[in-house]
Structure 1
């Protein structure tokens, strides 16, 4: 009889706690689609990397076109150290914009 009473008290106590408990804890169930967000972050990183590479390639291409890195001693040769650090346009976005508009040239 006493065991049955203590079980009823325990059930009443547990139901009281169950009602105050949040429906889902933060770590219990995730509503975030981690695959989609991870894919988005990877695609944005890839787009950023491609933009940086495109800007560098267009910078060097334009420097070669305007002969900005002509060797002073041998006019038919290129100064490779100049080509690595040349800034043929003022901003990186000018390189990217020109490269995107003039595809295949």
Structure 2
């Protein structure tokens, strides 16, 4: 009989306690949030790569990195650090608008 009383007492206790303790059960969908963070990081990386590629493409098109000693050659050190437009978002905007050129 005491076991029955203990079971009913414990079941009453389980019903009155809070539904979620810290670390006990999570209703957060960790897979979805992890994928979202991963996709945002990938999009950020792609925007940076697109800005860098468009920066170098525009520098080559305008002749900013032409070698002064050998006019038919390119200065590769200049291509690594050139800023052919004022801001990075100008490169991204131009690259997204003019996809074929």
Give the superposition deviation at 1:87. Answer: 0.1
User: What is the aligned partner in structure 2 of residue 50 from structure 1?
Assistant: 46
CA distances 1:43-66 after superposition (whole Å, capped 9, x unpaired): 000000000000000000000000
Larger radius of gyration: 1
In the alignment, the residues of structure 1 paired with residue 11 and residue 77 of structure 2 have an alpha-carbon distance, to the nearest angstrom, of 77
Give the superposition deviation at 1:21. Answer: 2.2
How many residues align structurally?
101
Quick one: structure 1 residues 83 and 35, their matched pair in 2 at CA, closer, same or farther if it must change by over 3 Å?
Answer: same
Quick one: structure 1 residues 102 and 27, their matched pair in 2 at CA, closer, same or farther if it must change by over 3 Å?
Answer: same
Give the superposition deviation at 1:10. Answer: 5.8
Give the superposition deviation at 1:14. Answer: 4.9
Q: TM-score, normalised by structure 1?
A: 0.83
Name which of 51, 61, 68 aligns with 1:65.
61
Structure 2 unaligned residues grouped into runs of 5+: none
Structure 1 stretches of 4+ with a deviation exceeding 6 A read: 6-9
CA distances 1:74-95 after superposition (whole Å, capped 9, x unpaired): 0110000001000000100000
User: What is the aligned partner in structure 1 of residue 22 from structure 2?
Assistant: 26
Name which of 65, 74, 78 aligns with 2:74.
78
In the alignment, the residues of structure 2 paired with residue 20 and residue 90 of structure 1 have an alpha-carbon distance, to the nearest angstrom, of 63
Task: State the superposition RMSD in angstroms.
Answer: 2.0
Name which of 63, 72, 90 aligns with 1:94.
90
Q: TM-score, normalised by structure 2?
A: 0.86
